[in-house]
Each structure stands twice: as C-alpha cells, then as structure tokens.
Amino acid sequence: MKISTLALLLAAAITPDVHYFRYERSILDTPTQQAQTCIALDATVFAHAEPRLSDLRLYQGEKEVPYAVGLATPVEATQNNISPLNVGERDGRIVFDAAMPEDTYSDVELDIDARDFIASVDVFGSQSQADRTPTKLGTYTIFDFMRQKLGRSTVLHLPQTNFRYLHFRVDGPLKPEEVTGLRFSGFVKSQPQYIATAETSQVVQQGHETLIAFTVPAHVPVARVVFAAGQQPVNFSRNVTVTVAEQGVASSGESTLSPSEGNILRIHATRNGRRIDEERLSVDSPARDGGRPTKWMVKVDNGDDPPLALESVRLEMLERNLCFDAKPGAMYSLYYGDPALSAPRYDYATLFTPEKGAKRGTLGPERENPGYHPRPDERPLTERHPALLWTALGLVVLILGGIALQSAKRINSQ
C-alpha cells in the first residue's frame, strides 16, 4: 500500500471530538423557529483554524451539525470584451451600438484610445437593435486628466439591466475610430460583501511615498485594500503598490510575492460645463496562497503633491457565510483548532441552496474551549520518538562491529 493512500485512510479514520478543539465560539441570535441560518466568518476563525477551514465543526451540545460554507455574494471574475457595432457620427456626436449577453449586467467600461478629454455619454437600451424607442439608462461623464495627474475613468455605472442591445451617443472631443470596444466583468446579481481583516491609522512618510504596514496571520484571506481619505485635497489621483512578504521561508526569512498595483482617485468638479463625481478608493490585493504569516506594505506615490490625509487604511476579505438549518430554541457552538482533522463531507453542503429569507446569526467572542485537552498521539513509537530508532540502529552497528572485530581476532590467532 502506498504511503499517501495509508495517510488518507488514517486521516479518514480520525473522528472529531469536542474535547480536542482548542477554540470555541457560541452562535448568537438563532431563530425562534426552524429556519436556514447563516453567520459571517471573521478573520479570527481563519487565523486559528486549519487551512481551508478543514477542522471547522458545528455542534448542538455534543451532536455534530452539518453545514455549508460559501461566499456571501458569488463573484464572477471572468471579463467579457465586446466590439462596438455601427460606429459613426450623427449630429456632431459619435454613435455606436453593442450586442450584450442574455443576462443581467451593470457597469460597462469603454475602451477609448485617446488622451486629455472629457465627454458625456448617453446610454439607451433595447431588446432589438432596430427598436426606434429605446429606454434611456442615463447620462455619464468619461474623462482623461492624466496630464493634470487626476487620473482617467471611462466606466459607465449603469443600473442593473438585461437589455440585449445598448446604444451610445458620445458628446465630446473624440473621433469614431478612438472608440475601440467595451468590456464588463461577469454578472453580479448584487454587490460583494466585505469584512475587515486589519485596519490602521498609522502611516509613515518616506520621501514622496506614504507607507502603511500590516501583519496578517496565516490563512487569513485578503481581497482588497480600502482607503479612508480626509476632506483635503478634494481632488487627487495617486498610484498605489501593495507588496506582500511571506515570513519564515527557508533561510532567507521572507519570500516576497508578486506585488499588485492600482490607483485611488477622487474628483468632484465641474469641467467644461460637465459635472464629475468619481471616487475609487480601493485596490485589489496581490494573490497569495501560503500557510505563513505575511507582512504587507502599502505604498502611496504622492509625486510632488502633499501626502494624502489618510484617516485609516484597512484590508478586507470577501464575506464568507456558514449556513445550517437551525432548530428553534437550540444552542449551537462553532469549534476549530484540531490539526488532525480533514475537511468534512456533508450531503447538506452538496445539496445546499441558499434561501432569500435565511436568518442572520452572529458569532460570539472566541474563547479557549474549557473542555480542551490535546488529542492523544496515536503515531507509532518510532514516529513519536525518531531518536530511539537511530539510537537502536547505532547500538546494532556497534554490536555487529564488536562481533566482527572478535571474529577477526580469533581468525588471526589461529
């Protein structure tokens, strides 16, 4: 039998027991009648549980309760690129159409191959390309102020819609050939929910950069960095670099992961008679996949401008819910902190369907499990005390060497 197969069988044979979990959290605000109940898992759970929450268990008393874990709001990361149709000019404006997918969508970003401009975009929707009475979805401002160091935005924040065709009219100093396409991220039925994993108001000014440092425990996911900027300056655009260093790798001490770059932006102004109100105060975090604590360094490039008055900077993760069927009046507790366990497999999770009317529960404060004691070490003696094996081997070698030496002397004496 292969060692990996044996290890899997041994892992499968290990059963959970409430006395072997180091940490415990009570489930508060459970419903008064039987209902699907969901609780948000915070950063503390991820920091003290095993990777991928493999040792997470829910109990009613000492009875294990099946559950399902998933994102509070599913996020579709795919990006769709669409080529514009019938691009031309009409009454001094650029006009074009776009065939949209058969689903719900919202924000659309135009690909504009131009610099230093401000323009307004009227957007209409219809179910057929030839519809003569399309529905107006709104008027939006796009701009490029890179020369003034105030950034660029060509995103149209449309309301959620499912029109099969969009029709655009662009009024501004652009040419038809400069409209090269449009794109949007996958279909999101509602906005993602986030939970703060770390927050600080401590910043360090170093030359032209503002530095913000974090230490994140192992296994805690981070999705984005969010900035709370003071009222001054009113308008700004600053580039941001986020670097993550994984601690405790080999002899080097730290291993730097691929950094991510982004831009934070705030503009509230009127330019050429057009009102602009644009805020983008978060950047995506670098991809990380490791089991060690990490040091995060967030750098804001201020250029030759005064530093931003940052009230706080926080790291956020996508909210993940643990859902289960709660019984009225029952008391539930969440346990974790048993590295011997593998991930559970429940029919409940396989067949799980989130309900719109699911009740919201909350996690009580984390505490040391009062009934905790370490799981007995059931490994073979040689694995628990490897020095014994080497000592025994050394004794065997010495004995065999002594026997060989005595035999050699006996032969020589003859």
Per residue in 342-371, pLDDT (tens digit) is: 999 999 999 999 888 889 999 999 999 999
Give 161's DSSP letter.
Answer: B
Number of domains comprising the chain = 4
The verdict on residue 134 lying in a domain is yes
- Count Cβ atoms below 10 Å from residue 393 Cβ, excluding itself: 10
Q: Percentage of the chain surpassing pLDDT 90?
A: 57
The answer to whether residues 408 and 400 touch, using CB atoms and an 8 Å cutoff, is no
Helices vs strands, H then E, count in the chain: 5, 30
Q: Are 260 and 355 in contact (CB under 8 A)?
A: no
Q: Are residues 228 and 339 in the same domain?
A: no
User: Which residues make Cβ contacts (< 8 Å) with residue 355, sequence separation at least 6?
Assistant: 36
**pLDDT tens column, 57-94:** 999 998 999 999 998 876 554 567 889 999 999 999 99
H/E element, 57: strand 57-60
Same domain, 30 and 138: no
Which DSSP string corresponds to 98-139?
EEPPSS-B--EEEEE---SEEEEEEEEEESSTT-SSPEEEEE
Residues of the domain holding 144? 79-185
Checking if the pLDDT of 334 tops 60, the result is: yes
Specify which of 3-17, 96-110, 333-347 reaches the highest per-range mean pLDDT: 333-347
Please tell me whether residues 40 and 63 are part of one structural domain: yes
Is 375 contained in some domain?
Answer: no
What is the length of the chain?
Answer: 414
CA nearest to 138, candidates 167, 165, 164, 162? 167
Q: Are residues 212 and 152 part of one domain?
A: no
Flag whether 413 is in a domain.
no
Strands 282-284 and 224-229: antiparallel
Whole-number pLDDT of residue 8: 47
In this structure, is residue 166 part of a structural domain?
Answer: yes
pTM: 0.73
Asked if the structure places residue 337 within a domain, the reply is yes
Task: Identify the residue with better confidence: 322 or 103.
Answer: 322
pLDDT of residue 282: 94
- At which of 166, 185, 204 does a domain end? 185
Q: For the purposes of burial, counting CB atoms within 10 Å of the CB of 374, is it exposed (0-12), middle (13-18) or buried (19 or more)?
A: exposed
Task: Let me know whether 68 and 85 are in one domain.
Answer: no
| CA–CA gap between residue 362 and residue 364 (Å, rounded) | 6
In this structure, are 42 and 120 located in the same domain? no
Does a structural domain hold residue 143? yes
87, 159: one domain: yes
Instruction: Quote the CA–CA distance of 302 and 233 in Å, as a whole number.
Output: 12
| Domain's final residue, options 185, 205, 239 | 185
Query: Phi first, then psi: what are they for 139, rounded to 5°?
Result: -120, 135
Query: Tell me, what DSSP letter sits at residue 256?
Result: E
Average pLDDT of the residues in 372-397:
70
pLDDT band at residue 3, thresholds of 50, 70 and 90?
very low
Residues 248, 300 within the same domain: yes
- Please say which residue of 157, 185, 213 terminates a domain: 185
CA 28 to chain centre: 26
Whether residue 174 has pLDDT greater than 70: yes
Distances in Å between the Cα of 372 and the Cα atoms of 17, 46, 106, 384 are 10, 19, 50, 22
Examine the pLDDT at 266 and tell me if it is beyond 60: yes
In whole angstroms, give the CA distance from residue 32 to residue 146: 57
Residue 379 CB neighbour total at 10 angstroms: 10
126/172 same-domain check: yes
| C-alpha distances out from residue 395 to 320, 388, 390, 408, Å | 56, 10, 9, 20
| pLDDT in the model for residue 6 | 46
Asked if residue 48 is part of any domain, the answer here is: yes
pLDDT bracket for residue 106 (50, 70, 90): confident
Which carries the bigger pLDDT value, residue 318 or residue 387? 318
Q: Provide the pLDDT for residue 4.
A: 47
Does residue 253 share a domain with residue 218? yes
Q: How far apart are CA 134 and CA 47, in angstroms?
A: 52
User: In 248-399, which ranges are E strands?
Assistant: 254-256, 260-271, 274-280, 282-284, 294-301, 310-318, 320-326, 333-336, 359-363, 367-368
Residues 304 and 240 in one domain: yes
Residues 177, 202, single domain; the answer is no
